[in-house]
Amino acid sequence: MYRSGDTNNATKARPEKSSGTTSNFILNRSFQFLVVALSVAAFFLVRGPLGWQSNSSYVLCSPEGTQKIYTVDNANSRVQCILINDAVIIHTGSLAQVLQQWQNSSTRSKLTFKYYNAPPVRYIQPGAIVVPGLSDSHAHILEYGATLQLPLEGTKTVNETVARVRDYILSNADINSDKSKFVLGGGWDHTVWPSGAWPTAADLESDPIIRGRPVVLQSKDCHALWLSQTALESSFPFPDKVDGGLIVRDDFGNPTGMLLDNAQDLVRQPKLLEDDLLKRFNSAIQKAIEYGLTSIHDAGLDPTSLNFFEQEARRRTLPIRIYGMSYFDENGEYWGNTTTPLIATGDGRLTARSVKIFADGALRTGGAALYEPYADNPTTNGLMRLDTEVLFKYIPLFLRDGWQVNVHAIGDRANGLVVDAFQASLNGANVTALRPRLEHAQLMTKADMHRLGKLGGKAVIASVQPTHAISDMLFAEDRLGPERVKNLYAFRTLIESGARIALGSDAPVEDLNPLAGFYAAITRLSRGGESPHGADGWYVFWPACRMTIDPAYASFTETFLGSLEVGKRADFVVFSQDIMTAPVNRILATKVLATAVDGKLVYGAI
């Protein structure tokens, strides 16, 4: 549980000076020395080298005469200062106002005035702004961390990708010296390579350094795995067919080294070691705080990752908040009433109270389930990854047992079926207490968008990823045709129909940087300022002001996160420039100067 409010704690008395004898004094001094030495040691042991701030009360201000703290309250107010005490915001306003309020609320300091000290004031630099800590409503922390070990993003050819794998092997002695060790990487995207074809095991085998090693490489959209021959063979035998998945085969029926959607589960690889997980976690979290993220909704925990997060949360204070969705395997046992949701364990930083169900695949790989065939491949409508009955059976059970239900749905048919299942499950229920989520909600018919909005006022959430829109804009119209594409990423229609939207990145599928999502959402332009509709952007919409409060709502934390208001936790970010007013082509040049969680800096300096 969270420590409650603590709003009247501003009066913590300062310790009185010791007035003992000399020997007492020396004893005290050496004792104090010991305490200080131990604290310093503990500080470095527990906090690591990041140097978290240790003052419990301070005022955070923009320079005199400016109001550069965006509170994201209902009125969208800006203020000059917020006063933070023990991780909680207790006053907001001008510097004079917050100091006056501090003094007024410090009844004890009035009685014993000599102990009254104004809290230190920290000013952000001119031009900078403060916004509530950013939240990524849909990302995959350890998978993202994995791609940071052997990143394959941005390669322009198969050969360049293969060369990166080779260089990684050569530069990691433990892997290079042990041919049986799995080489894991991710982020490749064949749709931008000249051939546009799926890569094959043979491509990997053509390199003498790679040949004979088990290699498993995840695609950028996480819906395909590219395997070396050794990794393939260690996973044989394969079934002829996989429900909701595909084993890509050559003319002779032999697997080529590409497994799509559910077929990815066929890969047998050694269990990840604690050390691998820690490496992935640390690199992902380091990036997150550098980007100003104070909270990530992890969109697919399995027992290994959940155990790992729990263990980390017990062992130390997590640098940021993690909100987990546990993956439900529809072929496995129902666990909603045998597992207890985790709520704010580990100093309030870890929650895992959602279930994630996959309805279909992805648009890029042609796995999204559509009502009508793909425009560029009329032989297929894509695929549902599960039997529709599963949705109608398990959604009400999970809701009954206290879980938030978050369903991955990309194609219009998948989204329509999930809305059907939500509708059937929510009949007469308190939707505000349940807050089901559509994860992605990429392509929806107008009728389904309206139905979604009517399911419970603003209680149902569409968790969307604006960067997908600008990544997909180049091929989406080919795949969907000129009419259907208008319902793709139609965030404005979703909002207008009454649904609430929460922004995420889907990292590692896209860049984790929340500013990339912000830029994509408000411009619908590529990083170079282009779109299929020219420099005015591709079906623009403008959500910016609710960017932090809606993800908080989507994770049941809006009463203490998501805005910088009195009584809320002091999670905030300092940006080098005002992203609300900067010319859009300058937004991506914004720097994160500092990131704070519970009032303590986890990154940067003020």
User: Cα dist. 341→142, 279, 351, 398, 399 in Å?
Assistant: 20, 26, 8, 11, 12
- The least distance separating ligand NAG from the CB of residue 403, rounded to whole angstroms, comes to 12
Q: Does 432 bind ligand NAG (CB under 6 A)?
A: yes
Q: What single-letter DSSP state applies at residue 384?
A: B
Residue count of the chain? 606
DSSP assignment of 185-210 equals EEEE-GGGSSS-PPP-HHHHHTSTTT
Nearest approach in angstroms of CB 556 to ligand NAG is 9
Rounded Cα distance between 578 and 69, Å, is 10
CB of 228 to ligand NAG, least distance (A): 15
The whole-angstrom separation of Cα 591 and Cα 574 is 9
Interface positions, 275-334, toward ligand NAG (CB under 6 A): 334
State which residue, 54 or 311, has the beta carbon closest to ligand NAG.
Answer: 54
Q: Which stretch binds ligand NAG (CB under 6 A): 52-60, 96-104, 140-148, 266-274?
A: 52-60
337 binds ligand NAG (CB under 6 A): yes
Q: Which is nearer to ligand NAG, 319 or 411 (CB)?
A: 319
Distances from the Cα of 363 to the Cαs of 114, 166, 367, 521, in angstroms?
67, 30, 6, 19
Longest dimension (CA), the chain: 93
Residue 148-177 contact track with ligand NAG, rule CB under 6 A, x = bound = -----------x------------------
**Segment near ligand NAG (CB under 6 A), from 16-24, 61-69, 406-414, 425-433?**
425-433
What is the phi/psi pair of residue 127, to 5°? 95, -20
Could you tell me the smallest distance in angstroms from the CB atom of residue 338 to ligand NAG? 6
Pick one of 338, 379, 427, 581: the residue that binds ligand NAG (CB under 6 A): 338
Give the shortest CB-203-to-ligand NAG separation in angstroms.
8
Return the residue of 9, 53, 234, 381 that touches ligand NAG, per CB under 6 A. 53
Residue 340 engages ligand NAG in binding (rule: CB under 6 A): no
φ/ψ bin of 257: left (φ > 0), alpha (ψ from -120 to 50), beta (otherwise): left
Report the residue from 8, 30, 54, 180 that binds ligand NAG according to the rule CB under 6 A.
54
With CA atoms as reference, report the closest residue to 341 among 560, 559, 569, 555. Answer: 555
Whether the Cβ atoms of residue 595 and residue 602 lie closer than 8 Å to each other? yes
**CB of 605 vs ligand NAG, minimal distance in Å:** 10
SS3 553: helix
Binding residues for ligand NAG, total number by CB under 6 A: 13
- Asked if 541 and 570 count as a contact pair (C-beta separation under 8 A), the reply is no
CA distance 476 to 486: 10
Minimum distance of ligand NAG from residue 142's CB (angstroms): 29
Residue 430 binding ligand NAG, by CB under 6 A: yes
The answer to whether 459 and 502 are in contact (CB under 8 A) is no
Residue 39, interface with ligand NAG (CB under 6 A)? Answer: no
Which position has the token pair 């969705």?
325
Which residues, 177 to 216, sit near ligand NAG by CB under 6 A?
206
Q: Which is nearer to ligand NAG, 429 or 580 (CB)?
A: 429
Stretch that binds ligand NAG, among 13-21, 426-434, 507-515, 538-546 (CB under 6 A): 426-434
DSSP state of 135: E
Interface region with ligand NAG, contact rule CB under 6 A, candidates 34-42, 53-61, 237-245, 413-421: 53-61
Query: CA 300, CA 91: separation in Å to the nearest integer?
Result: 38
Interacting residues toward ligand NAG by CB under 6 A = 53-55, 120, 159, 206, 334, 337-338, 397, 430, 432-433
